[in-house]
Amino acid sequence: MRITKKNLILTISFVLFLVLNGYFIAVHEPWRDEIHAWLMAKYMSPFEMIAFSRHEGHPLLWHFILMPFAKAGAPVWTMHIISYIIVAVSAWLFLFRTKMHDVMKVVVLFTVPFLYTYSSIARNYCLILLLGMVICTLYDKRYEHPFLYSIFIALMVFTHAMAWGLVAGLTITFHIKEIATKLLGKSKLDRKHIGLIWAGLGVIAASTIFAVLTLFGKRNSGYFVVADDRTNNTILTMLGLLLISLLILLLTRGKIWKETVTLLTTYALIIYIYKNVFSGVLFQRQILISVFMLIFTLCALAENKDLRKEFKACIIALYVVSLFLGGNLLDTYYYIAQDINCNYSSGKEMADYINANLPDEEVILVDAGTFAQTMVPYTDKTLYDIRYEENIVDSLYCVDEGAEIVQHVYAIPEHEEYKGRYIVLYYEFNDLPFEKIYRTSDAITGEYFTLYYIPE
């Protein structure tokens, strides 16, 4: 790459970005959703993970990336290095391989979705960003490299169910469109390129069928369908962005129809998931609104180079609007400040206390294995779930229903084998006949632990 004033500015911005994101991962403590994927990769075989995915609810590309490191005994913070590298590559592709004004690129680099969230909070969402940027760089070359383009769309299937609408839109507006045009006798593509498009469609279809079948029948699929104001506001945000995109489509006289259709299928599936499958709007999922809008923006700019400047400005402005409508921009800076000044989780704090003050205890009881997983990477002690009656790494997925846990905790005095042991409680109790030993500080996630001694 030739050194120019333009490249120098982008390179300096990129280096500063790397330093900032490096600092953010250094101060971040992983919480249970991050650690859960690491524990799956560490303690399960590939076939066990595939079978388990219907309980997990996520495709497994992220887990398989973690697996060789986790099984080799690497420390848990390795997954943050992996997510950091993935986001760094995504940012490099965005800065140096996509079509957008350089000033706007620098502004976007230090906002959503590149800064902090997808590198510090190590989860499968960073893969959506990486594959999205790869697809954007290939978008205006997809007719030259249709099979390569299809491979990256197929990989997107294995990142997150909320990316399946994007996969559908990209496939409809390229593979289905070109095959239909050929069948109607109106295609200008030669037999070789049509064959590659057919092959790419086959790979995408096979990947989708495999992912859907492995996730089908997800346990408690309706357990989290409880819409709240945040869910409803998120849905309204997407509907508002779609309406504006349709207006821009009309103004451009249909020139960006492919990208608009893709945005429509993307948001439509997310809305369906929020309404019928999982209503929880975690911040990482909330940011997806802007991630997919950025992909829409970059693809539209790449495909329509002759678009008038005012229309290009409208498309970029729509992305900026997505940052504010969803609250993504302000929330990002808020969470950065919180993560620097507070514990993101309190699992490490409790594990450190137990290691330092209870060196002779081999087994620590816990009430809620789902939450106590946060402690596993930081202690060699066995964490025994009193509800499931096993080591929590042997039952990595469990639904911690409060009523049942309360019953098990109050029944502890009836168990002779529990007397004289220590228990870490996630749920709060005010009338237990146990000796309170230690309570962790509050965490950003609202999850903290209390250590008790069960008298003999």
Compute the distance between CA of residue 408 and CA of residue 426 in angstroms, rounded to an integer. 13
Whether residues 330 and 367 fall in one domain: no
With a CB cutoff of 8 Å and minimum separation 6, the contacts of 246 are: 260
pLDDT at 3: 66
Q: Helix (H, G, I), strand (E, B), or coil: what is residue 272?
A: helix
pLDDT at 2: 64
Determine the average pLDDT of the residues in 204-227: 75
Residue 382 pLDDT more than 70?
yes
For residue 396, pLDDT beyond 90: no
Let me know: does 60 contact 49? Beta carbons within 8 Å.
yes
pLDDT tens-place string over residues 238-287: 999 999 999 999 999 999 999 999 999 999 999 999 988 887 788 899 99
Same domain, 42 and 132: yes
CB 371 within 8 A of CB 32: yes
Average of pLDDT values for 90-119? Answer: 95
Q: What is the pTM of this model?
A: 0.94
| Whether 271 and 366 share a structural domain | no
Amino acid (one-letter) located at 383: L
Q: How far apart are CA 243 and CA 239, in angstroms?
A: 6
- Looking at the fold, whether 325 and 412 belong to one and the same domain comes out as no
* Cα–Cα distance list, 421 to 384, 400, 416 (Å): 11, 22, 10
Residue where one domain finishes, among candidates 290, 315, 340: 340
The sign of the CA dihedral 42, 43, 45, 50 is negative
Confidence (pLDDT) at 1: 54
Q: Which two tokens stand for residue 241?
A: 């962005």
Are the beta carbons of 454 and 445 closer than 8 angstroms?
no
Integer angstrom CA distances of residue 195 from 154, 272, 448: 17, 34, 56
Q: How far apart are CA 352 and CA 379, in angstroms?
A: 8
Longest dimension (CA), the chain: 84
Phi, psi of 422 (to 5 degrees): -110, 145
Which 8-state DSSP code applies to residue 420?
T
- Based on the fold, state whether residues 313 and 411 are members of the same structural domain: no
DSSP code of residue 443: B
Nearest C-alpha neighbor of 133 from the set 112, 107, 108, 152: 152
Residues 94 and 181 reside in one and the same domain: yes
Residues 31-52, mean pLDDT to the nearest whole number: 93
Question: Average pLDDT of the chain?
Answer: 93
Looking at the structure, tell me whether residues 314 and 407 fall in a common domain. Answer: no
397-413 confidence digits (pLDDT tens): 666 577 888 999 999 99
Q: Are residues 387 and 414 both part of a single domain?
A: yes
Q: What gap in Å lies between CA 239 and CA 90, rounded to an integer?
A: 27
Tell me, what DSSP letter sits at residue 93? H
Q: Which of 311, 340, 369 is the last residue of a domain?
A: 340
Query: Are residues 211 and 303 both part of a single domain?
Result: yes
Among residues 284, 307, 340, which one ends one of the domains? Answer: 340
Percent pLDDT > 70 in the chain is 96
Domain that holds residue 95: 5-340
What phi and psi, each to the nearest 5 degrees, are found at residue 224?
A: -105, 15
Q: Are residues 174 and 246 both part of a single domain?
A: yes
Is the pLDDT assigned to residue 60 strictly greater than 60?
A: yes
The verdict on 314 and 357 lying in the same domain is no
Report d(CA 424, CA 333) in Å as an integer.
33
Give the C-alpha separation, 259 to 165, whole Å.
12
* Spatial distance between the Cα atoms of 454 and 447, rounded to a whole number of angstroms: 22
* Whether residue 92 is found in the same domain as residue 222: yes
| Count: domains in the chain | 2
